[in-house]
Amino acid sequence: MGGVGGSLLWFLAVAALLVGYGLVVCWSATSTNADFSFTRQLAGVAGGLVIMALLWRLDYRRLANMTIVFLVINVVLILSPHLPVIGVGAKGAQSWIKIGMQVQPGEFAKVTVVLFAASLVSRYGGTLEDAREYCKVLGLLLIPFLCIMTQPDLGTGLVYLFIAATTLLMGGARPRYLVITLLAGIAAIAAVFVIDEFLKYEKSPGVYEYRLLKNYQRSRLLVFLNPDADTSGDGYNLAQAMIAIGSGGLFGKGLLHGTQATYGYLPEAPTDFIFCVLAEELGFVGVVALLALYIALIMAALRIAREADDLFGMLIVCAVVGMWLFQILENIGMTCGLMPITGIPLPFVSYGSSFMVVNFAMLGLIASVCTHHNALGRKGAYAATH
Protein backbone atom coordinates (compact mmCIF):
# COMPACT_ATOMS: atom_id res chain seq x y z
CA MET A 1 0.00 0.00 0.00
CA GLY A 2 3.05 2.24 0.32
CA GLY A 3 4.19 4.47 3.15
CA VAL A 4 1.58 6.31 5.16
CA GLY A 5 2.77 9.82 5.98
CA GLY A 6 1.85 12.18 8.76
CA SER A 7 -0.85 13.84 6.67
CA LEU A 8 -2.76 10.59 6.26
CA LEU A 9 -2.37 9.57 9.90
CA TRP A 10 -3.70 12.94 11.05
CA PHE A 11 -6.56 12.76 8.54
CA LEU A 12 -7.59 9.27 9.66
CA ALA A 13 -7.29 10.15 13.35
CA VAL A 14 -9.61 13.13 12.96
CA ALA A 15 -12.04 11.03 10.92
CA ALA A 16 -12.08 8.37 13.64
CA LEU A 17 -12.86 10.97 16.32
CA LEU A 18 -15.64 12.44 14.17
CA VAL A 19 -17.20 9.03 13.51
CA GLY A 20 -17.07 8.17 17.21
CA TYR A 21 -18.64 11.48 18.17
CA GLY A 22 -21.33 11.04 15.55
CA LEU A 23 -22.16 7.55 16.79
CA VAL A 24 -22.65 8.83 20.34
CA VAL A 25 -25.07 11.51 19.14
CA CYS A 26 -26.86 9.07 16.81
CA TRP A 27 -27.23 6.54 19.64
CA SER A 28 -28.91 9.15 21.79
CA ALA A 29 -31.17 10.30 18.95
CA THR A 30 -32.32 6.77 18.06
CA SER A 31 -32.67 5.36 21.57
CA THR A 32 -36.18 6.70 22.04
CA ASN A 33 -37.39 6.17 18.48
CA ALA A 34 -38.49 2.66 17.52
CA ASP A 35 -38.40 3.54 13.80
CA PHE A 36 -34.60 3.70 13.82
CA SER A 37 -32.09 0.98 14.67
CA PHE A 38 -28.70 1.96 16.05
CA THR A 39 -27.49 -1.53 15.18
CA ARG A 40 -28.11 -0.72 11.53
CA GLN A 41 -26.01 2.41 11.91
CA LEU A 42 -23.17 0.30 13.30
CA ALA A 43 -23.60 -2.03 10.33
CA GLY A 44 -23.18 0.99 8.07
CA VAL A 45 -19.91 1.82 9.81
CA ALA A 46 -18.70 -1.77 9.44
CA GLY A 47 -19.60 -1.86 5.76
CA GLY A 48 -18.07 1.56 5.28
CA LEU A 49 -14.77 0.42 6.76
CA VAL A 50 -14.62 -2.43 4.24
CA ILE A 51 -15.35 -0.09 1.30
CA MET A 52 -12.84 2.41 2.62
CA ALA A 53 -10.11 -0.23 2.86
CA LEU A 54 -10.78 -1.43 -0.69
CA LEU A 55 -10.65 2.08 -2.15
CA TRP A 56 -7.56 2.89 -0.10
CA ARG A 57 -5.72 -0.07 -1.58
CA LEU A 58 -6.85 0.81 -5.11
CA ASP A 59 -4.48 3.09 -7.00
CA TYR A 60 -6.79 5.96 -7.91
CA ARG A 61 -4.65 6.80 -10.97
CA ARG A 62 -6.07 3.71 -12.71
CA LEU A 63 -9.43 5.49 -12.78
CA ALA A 64 -8.24 8.62 -14.60
CA ASN A 65 -9.27 7.41 -18.08
CA MET A 66 -12.72 6.10 -17.09
CA THR A 67 -14.75 9.26 -17.68
CA ILE A 68 -17.37 7.62 -19.92
CA VAL A 69 -17.55 4.56 -17.69
CA PHE A 70 -18.34 6.72 -14.66
CA LEU A 71 -20.94 8.68 -16.60
CA VAL A 72 -22.71 5.48 -17.64
CA ILE A 73 -22.57 4.14 -14.07
CA ASN A 74 -24.05 7.40 -12.79
CA VAL A 75 -26.96 7.30 -15.23
CA VAL A 76 -27.70 3.63 -14.54
CA LEU A 77 -27.55 4.06 -10.75
CA ILE A 78 -29.63 7.23 -10.62
CA LEU A 79 -32.32 6.01 -13.03
CA SER A 80 -32.55 2.47 -11.60
CA PRO A 81 -35.39 3.37 -9.16
CA HIS A 82 -37.62 3.88 -12.19
CA LEU A 83 -37.37 0.19 -13.09
CA PRO A 84 -40.80 -1.40 -12.57
CA VAL A 85 -39.71 -4.45 -10.58
CA ILE A 86 -37.13 -3.12 -8.15
CA GLY A 87 -38.06 0.57 -7.97
CA VAL A 88 -39.63 1.74 -4.72
CA GLY A 89 -41.30 5.08 -4.05
CA ALA A 90 -41.10 6.76 -0.65
CA LYS A 91 -41.89 10.23 0.72
CA GLY A 92 -43.03 11.54 -2.64
CA ALA A 93 -39.92 10.44 -4.56
CA GLN A 94 -38.95 7.41 -6.63
CA SER A 95 -35.47 7.17 -5.11
CA TRP A 96 -35.15 3.61 -3.80
CA ILE A 97 -34.63 0.11 -5.12
CA LYS A 98 -35.27 -3.15 -3.33
CA ILE A 99 -32.72 -5.93 -3.95
CA GLY A 100 -32.99 -8.04 -0.84
CA MET A 101 -32.76 -4.82 1.12
CA GLN A 102 -33.86 -1.29 0.31
CA VAL A 103 -31.09 1.05 -0.85
CA GLN A 104 -30.86 4.52 -2.39
CA PRO A 105 -28.70 4.36 -5.54
CA GLY A 106 -28.51 8.13 -5.86
CA GLU A 107 -26.65 8.22 -2.56
CA PHE A 108 -24.02 5.75 -3.76
CA ALA A 109 -23.75 7.66 -7.04
CA LYS A 110 -22.09 10.51 -5.13
CA VAL A 111 -18.88 8.46 -5.26
CA THR A 112 -19.00 8.02 -9.03
CA VAL A 113 -20.09 11.64 -9.52
CA VAL A 114 -16.89 12.72 -7.74
CA LEU A 115 -14.77 10.40 -9.90
CA PHE A 116 -16.61 11.39 -13.08
CA ALA A 117 -16.20 15.11 -12.44
CA ALA A 118 -12.52 14.80 -11.49
CA SER A 119 -11.75 12.57 -14.47
CA LEU A 120 -13.55 14.86 -16.92
CA VAL A 121 -12.08 18.16 -15.74
CA SER A 122 -8.55 16.78 -15.29
CA ARG A 123 -8.44 16.15 -19.05
CA TYR A 124 -7.89 19.88 -19.52
CA GLY A 125 -4.68 19.94 -17.48
CA GLY A 126 -5.77 22.70 -15.10
CA THR A 127 -6.77 25.22 -17.78
CA LEU A 128 -10.36 25.41 -18.99
CA GLU A 129 -10.53 28.75 -20.80
CA ASP A 130 -12.23 27.95 -24.11
CA ALA A 131 -15.93 28.87 -23.88
CA ARG A 132 -17.10 25.99 -26.08
CA GLU A 133 -15.10 23.44 -24.12
CA TYR A 134 -16.45 24.88 -20.86
CA CYS A 135 -20.02 24.58 -22.09
CA LYS A 136 -19.37 20.99 -23.17
CA VAL A 137 -17.92 20.08 -19.77
CA LEU A 138 -20.75 21.88 -17.96
CA GLY A 139 -23.35 20.02 -20.02
CA LEU A 140 -21.80 16.66 -19.17
CA LEU A 141 -21.57 17.55 -15.47
CA LEU A 142 -25.27 18.45 -15.44
CA ILE A 143 -26.33 14.97 -16.61
CA PRO A 144 -26.32 13.38 -13.10
CA PHE A 145 -28.33 16.34 -11.77
CA LEU A 146 -30.92 16.07 -14.53
CA CYS A 147 -31.20 12.33 -13.90
CA ILE A 148 -31.71 12.71 -10.14
CA MET A 149 -34.41 15.34 -10.72
CA THR A 150 -36.52 12.72 -12.50
CA GLN A 151 -37.04 11.03 -9.11
CA PRO A 152 -37.15 13.92 -7.94
CA ASP A 153 -34.51 14.30 -5.21
CA LEU A 154 -33.57 17.96 -4.96
CA GLY A 155 -31.27 17.55 -1.95
CA THR A 156 -29.03 14.96 -3.62
CA GLY A 157 -29.18 16.94 -6.86
CA LEU A 158 -27.81 20.01 -5.09
CA VAL A 159 -24.94 17.89 -3.76
CA TYR A 160 -24.13 16.81 -7.33
CA LEU A 161 -24.14 20.44 -8.44
CA PHE A 162 -21.79 21.47 -5.67
CA ILE A 163 -19.40 18.65 -6.53
CA ALA A 164 -19.41 19.86 -10.15
CA ALA A 165 -18.93 23.51 -9.14
CA THR A 166 -16.00 22.70 -6.87
CA THR A 167 -14.33 20.60 -9.56
CA LEU A 168 -14.71 23.36 -12.16
CA LEU A 169 -13.39 25.99 -9.76
CA MET A 170 -10.32 23.97 -8.79
CA GLY A 171 -9.86 22.59 -12.31
CA GLY A 172 -9.00 25.92 -13.93
CA ALA A 173 -12.33 27.18 -15.28
CA ARG A 174 -12.31 30.92 -15.89
CA PRO A 175 -14.00 32.83 -13.02
CA ARG A 176 -16.12 34.72 -15.55
CA TYR A 177 -17.65 31.47 -16.79
CA LEU A 178 -18.43 30.38 -13.24
CA VAL A 179 -20.13 33.68 -12.41
CA ILE A 180 -22.23 33.52 -15.59
CA THR A 181 -23.19 29.93 -14.75
CA LEU A 182 -24.21 30.95 -11.21
CA LEU A 183 -26.34 33.82 -12.48
CA ALA A 184 -27.94 31.55 -15.07
CA GLY A 185 -28.74 29.04 -12.33
CA ILE A 186 -30.39 31.70 -10.18
CA ALA A 187 -32.39 32.88 -13.18
CA ALA A 188 -33.47 29.30 -13.91
CA ILE A 189 -34.69 28.82 -10.33
CA ALA A 190 -36.69 32.04 -10.52
CA ALA A 191 -38.13 30.97 -13.87
CA VAL A 192 -39.26 27.63 -12.41
CA PHE A 193 -41.24 29.40 -9.69
CA VAL A 194 -42.79 31.86 -12.14
CA ILE A 195 -43.73 29.19 -14.68
CA ASP A 196 -45.14 26.98 -11.93
CA GLU A 197 -47.54 29.77 -10.98
CA PHE A 198 -49.01 29.60 -14.49
CA LEU A 199 -49.03 25.79 -14.66
CA LYS A 200 -50.55 25.09 -11.25
CA TYR A 201 -54.01 23.59 -11.06
CA GLU A 202 -56.64 23.30 -8.36
CA LYS A 203 -56.50 19.75 -7.04
CA SER A 204 -59.34 20.36 -4.61
CA PRO A 205 -61.13 23.51 -3.44
CA GLY A 206 -58.45 25.92 -2.25
CA VAL A 207 -55.62 23.37 -2.70
CA TYR A 208 -53.25 23.85 -5.63
CA GLU A 209 -50.81 21.38 -7.14
CA TYR A 210 -47.66 22.53 -8.91
CA ARG A 211 -46.18 20.72 -11.90
CA LEU A 212 -42.45 21.55 -11.99
CA LEU A 213 -41.79 21.44 -8.24
CA LYS A 214 -43.73 19.28 -5.84
CA ASN A 215 -45.62 21.18 -3.15
CA TYR A 216 -43.34 20.00 -0.34
CA GLN A 217 -40.23 21.01 -2.30
CA ARG A 218 -41.63 24.45 -2.96
CA SER A 219 -42.57 24.86 0.70
CA ARG A 220 -39.12 23.78 1.90
CA LEU A 221 -37.38 26.24 -0.41
CA LEU A 222 -39.55 29.18 0.66
CA VAL A 223 -40.19 28.58 4.35
CA PHE A 224 -36.81 29.94 5.44
CA LEU A 225 -37.81 33.31 3.94
CA ASN A 226 -41.06 33.34 5.92
CA PRO A 227 -41.19 30.63 8.62
CA ASP A 228 -44.64 31.80 9.78
CA ALA A 229 -46.19 31.08 6.37
CA ASP A 230 -46.52 27.32 7.02
CA THR A 231 -46.87 26.84 10.76
CA SER A 232 -48.38 23.38 10.37
CA GLY A 233 -45.71 22.05 7.97
CA ASP A 234 -42.12 22.99 7.34
CA GLY A 235 -42.53 26.21 9.33
CA TYR A 236 -43.44 24.09 12.35
CA ASN A 237 -40.41 21.87 11.78
CA LEU A 238 -38.10 24.87 11.68
CA ALA A 239 -39.65 26.37 14.81
CA GLN A 240 -39.16 23.14 16.76
CA ALA A 241 -35.58 22.85 15.47
CA MET A 242 -34.73 26.33 16.70
CA ILE A 243 -36.34 25.64 20.07
CA ALA A 244 -34.15 22.55 20.45
CA ILE A 245 -30.98 24.47 19.55
CA GLY A 246 -31.79 27.39 21.84
CA SER A 247 -32.75 25.25 24.82
CA GLY A 248 -29.38 23.51 24.97
CA GLY A 249 -27.60 26.42 26.58
CA LEU A 250 -23.88 26.20 27.24
CA PHE A 251 -23.50 22.57 28.28
CA GLY A 252 -26.80 21.03 27.17
CA LYS A 253 -29.34 18.88 28.97
CA GLY A 254 -27.25 15.72 28.74
CA LEU A 255 -27.41 12.67 26.48
CA LEU A 256 -30.86 11.04 26.38
CA HIS A 257 -32.36 14.05 28.19
CA GLY A 258 -33.37 16.16 25.20
CA THR A 259 -37.11 16.82 25.27
CA GLN A 260 -37.73 17.93 21.68
CA ALA A 261 -36.73 14.60 20.13
CA THR A 262 -37.82 12.40 23.03
CA TYR A 263 -41.40 13.68 22.99
CA GLY A 264 -41.69 13.75 19.23
CA TYR A 265 -41.72 17.52 18.70
CA LEU A 266 -38.59 17.47 16.55
CA PRO A 267 -39.25 15.86 13.12
CA GLU A 268 -36.77 13.41 11.61
CA ALA A 269 -34.52 13.89 14.64
CA PRO A 270 -31.96 11.13 13.88
CA THR A 271 -31.60 12.13 10.22
CA ASP A 272 -32.24 15.65 8.90
CA PHE A 273 -32.37 17.39 12.28
CA ILE A 274 -29.76 15.51 14.28
CA PHE A 275 -27.76 18.72 14.73
CA CYS A 276 -30.65 19.97 16.88
CA VAL A 277 -30.40 16.85 19.05
CA LEU A 278 -26.69 17.50 19.53
CA ALA A 279 -27.24 21.18 20.35
CA GLU A 280 -30.01 20.44 22.86
CA GLU A 281 -28.24 17.59 24.65
CA LEU A 282 -24.61 18.75 24.50
CA GLY A 283 -25.11 22.49 24.24
CA PHE A 284 -22.86 25.14 22.76
CA VAL A 285 -19.77 23.24 23.88
CA GLY A 286 -20.91 20.15 21.99
CA VAL A 287 -21.58 22.20 18.86
CA VAL A 288 -18.13 23.81 19.02
CA ALA A 289 -16.56 20.36 19.40
CA LEU A 290 -18.36 19.11 16.28
CA LEU A 291 -17.39 22.16 14.23
CA ALA A 292 -13.77 21.82 15.40
CA LEU A 293 -13.69 18.22 14.19
CA TYR A 294 -15.17 19.21 10.82
CA ILE A 295 -12.63 22.01 10.40
CA ALA A 296 -9.78 19.66 11.33
CA LEU A 297 -11.01 17.03 8.85
CA ILE A 298 -11.33 19.54 6.02
CA MET A 299 -7.93 21.10 6.74
CA ALA A 300 -6.30 17.66 6.79
CA ALA A 301 -7.96 16.77 3.48
CA LEU A 302 -6.87 20.04 1.88
CA ARG A 303 -3.31 19.35 3.00
CA ILE A 304 -3.49 16.02 1.17
CA ALA A 305 -4.85 17.84 -1.89
CA ARG A 306 -1.89 20.25 -1.85
CA GLU A 307 0.54 17.35 -1.58
CA ALA A 308 -1.03 15.44 -4.50
CA ASP A 309 1.26 15.53 -7.51
CA ASP A 310 -1.40 15.01 -10.18
CA LEU A 311 -4.46 17.04 -11.09
CA PHE A 312 -6.85 14.08 -11.03
CA GLY A 313 -5.96 13.22 -7.43
CA MET A 314 -6.17 16.84 -6.31
CA LEU A 315 -9.59 17.23 -7.91
CA ILE A 316 -10.88 14.06 -6.23
CA VAL A 317 -9.96 15.41 -2.79
CA CYS A 318 -11.31 18.90 -3.51
CA ALA A 319 -14.59 17.50 -4.84
CA VAL A 320 -15.07 15.46 -1.65
CA VAL A 321 -14.22 18.46 0.51
CA GLY A 322 -16.68 20.60 -1.47
CA MET A 323 -19.37 17.98 -0.98
CA TRP A 324 -18.76 17.79 2.77
CA LEU A 325 -18.69 21.58 3.15
CA PHE A 326 -21.99 21.99 1.32
CA GLN A 327 -23.70 19.27 3.35
CA ILE A 328 -22.41 20.67 6.64
CA LEU A 329 -23.38 24.27 5.87
CA GLU A 330 -26.76 23.31 4.40
CA ASN A 331 -27.74 20.93 7.21
CA ILE A 332 -26.74 23.27 10.03
CA GLY A 333 -28.03 26.31 8.15
CA MET A 334 -31.47 24.81 7.53
CA THR A 335 -31.92 23.98 11.24
CA CYS A 336 -31.14 27.62 12.11
CA GLY A 337 -33.41 29.12 9.45
CA LEU A 338 -30.48 30.38 7.38
CA MET A 339 -30.83 27.90 4.49
CA PRO A 340 -33.78 26.21 2.74
CA ILE A 341 -34.91 22.90 4.22
CA THR A 342 -33.70 20.32 1.71
CA GLY A 343 -33.35 17.13 3.75
CA ILE A 344 -29.56 16.96 3.36
CA PRO A 345 -28.03 14.89 6.21
CA LEU A 346 -25.01 15.80 8.36
CA PRO A 347 -21.81 13.91 7.37
CA PHE A 348 -20.73 11.16 9.81
CA VAL A 349 -23.48 12.13 12.28
CA SER A 350 -26.92 11.67 10.70
CA TYR A 351 -28.58 8.28 10.83
CA GLY A 352 -28.42 6.22 7.64
CA SER A 353 -26.29 3.20 6.83
CA SER A 354 -26.05 4.03 3.11
CA PHE A 355 -25.05 7.60 3.91
CA MET A 356 -22.38 6.34 6.30
CA VAL A 357 -20.98 3.90 3.74
CA VAL A 358 -20.71 6.68 1.15
CA ASN A 359 -18.83 8.95 3.56
CA PHE A 360 -16.40 6.14 4.37
CA ALA A 361 -15.93 5.60 0.64
CA MET A 362 -14.92 9.26 0.37
CA LEU A 363 -12.38 8.71 3.14
CA GLY A 364 -11.01 5.78 1.14
CA LEU A 365 -10.63 7.89 -1.99
CA ILE A 366 -8.71 10.57 -0.13
CA ALA A 367 -6.53 7.95 1.56
CA SER A 368 -5.78 6.45 -1.87
CA VAL A 369 -4.71 9.85 -3.22
CA CYS A 370 -2.42 10.39 -0.23
CA THR A 371 -0.91 6.92 -0.48
CA HIS A 372 -0.46 6.53 -4.24
CA HIS A 373 0.34 10.01 -5.54
CA ASN A 374 3.53 10.21 -7.59
CA ALA A 375 6.09 12.86 -8.42
CA LEU A 376 5.31 13.47 -12.08
CA GLY A 377 3.58 16.78 -11.49
CA ARG A 378 -0.07 17.48 -12.13
CA LYS A 379 0.06 18.00 -15.86
CA GLY A 380 2.81 15.44 -16.33
CA ALA A 381 0.88 12.77 -14.48
CA TYR A 382 -2.09 13.30 -16.71
CA ALA A 383 0.03 13.16 -19.84
CA ALA A 384 1.68 9.96 -18.64
CA THR A 385 -1.69 8.24 -18.23
CA HIS A 386 -2.91 9.32 -21.66
Instruction: Read off the pLDDT of each residue in 300-326 and give the average, rounded to a whole number.
Output: 95
The answer to whether residue 288 sits within a structural domain is yes
Q: What is the pLDDT of residue 35?
A: 82
Of residues 205 and 278, more confidently modeled: 278
Minimum mean pLDDT range among 169-173, 200-204, 259-263, 377-381: 377-381
Q: Residue 368: what are its φ and ψ, rounded to 5°? A: -65, -40
Instruction: Read off the pLDDT of each residue in 1-22 and give the average, rounded to a whole number.
Output: 84
Indicate whether 379 pLDDT > 50.
no
The answer to whether residue 1 sits within a structural domain is no
What is the number of domains present in the chain?
Answer: 1
Which letter does DSSP use for residue 173 in this model? B
Indicate whether 220 pLDDT > 60.
yes
Q: What is the pLDDT of residue 383?
A: 43
Q: What is the pLDDT of residue 22?
A: 96
For 352: left if phi > 0, alpha if psi spans -120 to 50, otherwise beta; the answer is left
Assess contact for 235 and 229: CB atoms under 8 A.
Answer: yes
| Model-wide pTM > 0.85 | yes
pLDDT per residue as tens digits for the range 160-171: 999 999 999 999
Highest mean pLDDT among 37-41, 111-115, 206-210, 256-260: 111-115
Q: What is the pLDDT of residue 96?
A: 83
Indicate whether 234 pLDDT > 80.
no
CA distances to 69, 85, 168, 342, 376 from 121, in Å? 15, 36, 7, 28, 18
Residue length, the chain? Answer: 386
Minimum mean pLDDT range among 24-38, 127-141, 192-206: 192-206
The answer to whether residue 276 sits within a structural domain is yes
The answer to whether residue 359 sits within a structural domain is yes
- Residue (of 91, 159, 213, 149) closest to 345 by Cα position: 159
The answer to whether residue 170 sits within a structural domain is yes
Q: What is the pLDDT of residue 7?
A: 87
The strand pairing partners of 90, in sequence order, are: 93
pLDDT per residue as tens digits for the range 146-186: 999 988 888 899 999 999 999 999 999 999 999 999 999 99
Instruction: Read off the pLDDT of each residue in 59-82 and give the average, rounded to a whole number.
Output: 94
Q: What is the pLDDT of residue 265?
A: 79
CA distances to 150, 274, 291, 341, 343 from 329, in Å? 25, 14, 10, 12, 12
Which amino acid type is present at position 254? G
Q: Residue 34: what are its φ and ψ, rounded to 5°? A: -70, -15
Instruction: Read off the pLDDT of each residue in 245-271 and give the average, rounded to a whole number.
Output: 86
The strand pairing partners of 96, in sequence order, are: 88
Indicate whether 228 pLDDT > 90.
no
Q: Residue 173: what are its φ and ψ, rounded to 5°? A: -65, 145
The answer to whether residue 230 sits within a structural domain is yes
Indicate whether 349 pLDDT > 90.
yes
Indicate whether 296 pLDDT > 80.
yes
Q: What is the pLDDT of residue 12?
A: 96
Instruction: Read off the pLDDT of each residue in 330-356 and give the average, rounded to a whole number.
Output: 90
Minimum mean pLDDT range among 35-39, 174-178, 326-330: 35-39
The DSSP H or E segment spanning 103 is: strand 101-103
State which residues form the domain around 305: 6-385
Q: What is the pLDDT of residue 212?
A: 74
Indicate whether 381 pLDDT > 50.
no
Cis peptide before 81 (omega within 30 of 0): no
pLDDT per residue as tens digits for the range 84-143: 888 887 766 788 888 877 888 999 999 999 999 999 999 999 899 999 999 999 999 999
CA–CA dist 107, 143 (Å, integer): 16
